[in-house]
Amino acid sequence: MEHSFAPHSHGFNPLVGTASWSDKTLLDCGKFYPPTAKTPEARLRFYASQFNLVEVDTSYYAIPAVTTAQHWAERTPPGFVFNVKAFSLFTGQWTSTDVLPKDIKEALGPGRRMVYKDMPAEFREELWKRFVACLVPLRVNGKLGLVHFQFSPKVVRHPAAVAHIEHCVEHLPGHTLSIEFRHPSWWENDAVTADTLGLLRSLGLVHTIVDGPQGSPHSVPAIWETTHPDHALLRLHGRNEVAYGMPAKSAAERFDYAYTSAELQALAHRYSPIARSVRYPHAVFNNCMEDKSQLNAREFLEALKAC
């Protein structure tokens, strides 16, 4: 498969960044962006001067307009990479019709919550078309990295789930998909783990190594493996065991955690052999309270390069 981007420098050039560049707590804290970065354009340009990767999380909540994606491509330098999260409906999550494109929302009726299987097929297909369309500006400008599927904790290991993953692959030909399971059934023992990794390899999918809080029903172990010849992905959610898994908490509260230097060093040493075995190693920090993810991403990048 031909990849839609290539890092702009030779040698070991890991792709490291954060999950979003415009979280409310990040903007409100005033610690990352300079005072001159007062507009969305200025903030993205500044972010892209600091990191070579960002994960688009807004696409999980609503499919971006094509013009929005075109602006992202225009406001970032050559070699900058966007990983884009798949729309929530595609990932087993209950989704409100209120976040759908206006015409589809009107056809289905406002205020309804639906899962993928309950939506009429013609609307599902139209949503896939619009999601693929929003990726085009990034792809043609050489800035599209992974399309990231963060599956709902409700997606348990089952033949129906495998069939849905295959269905997602069929709808994104020519794209590189990364998969993050949030139900522990996919990793419940060594045999199941081997089977899950084999499934990802057989479909050409990128396994997501998850560093996150342990001890909750939604916790999954970090499986330090790669399933794709060109890409590896490490996503870091912090280790806030108290708040993680509490549905009443906001995302920023659930992922409110600052990795210590010792933790980042240990993670870099653990990831380094995998990162150096592929062309495009990705690391995304999702501990998205204020500027914690930006600070940790910078330190992790230096630690990883030094390994």
Question: Cβ–Cβ contacts within 10 Å for residue 2, how many?
Answer: 4
Selection from 244, 152, 161 nearest residue 200 by Cα: 161
pLDDT (0 to 100) of residue 11:
80
71, two tokens: 């602006």
pLDDT (0 to 100) of residue 3:
43
Q: What is the mean pLDDT of each run of 10 residues along the chain (307 residues)?
A: 48 95 95 97 98 98 98 98 99 97 96 96 98 99 99 97 98 98 97 99 99 88 98 96 68 84 98 98 96 98 97
pLDDT (0 to 100) of residue 2:
38
pLDDT (0 to 100) of residue 254:
76
Provide CB contacts within 8 A for 156, sequence distance 6+.
Answer: 183, 185
Describe the chain by its helix, strand, coil percentages, rounded to 5: 45, 15, 40
Map out the domains of the chain as residue ranges: 15-96+129-306
The pTM for the full model equals 0.94
Task: Write down the residue that tokens 């060594």 correspond to.
Answer: 190
Instruction: Report the C-alpha dihedral over residues 69, 57, 76, 282, rounded to 10 degrees.
Output: -130
The topology under which CATH files domain 15-96+129-306 is TIM Barrel (3.20.20)
The Cα 92–Cα 181 span in angstroms is 11
Beta bridge pairs of residue 232: 281
pLDDT (0 to 100) of residue 1:
30
Beta strands in 181-223 (DSSP E): 206-211
pLDDT (0 to 100) of residue 245:
64
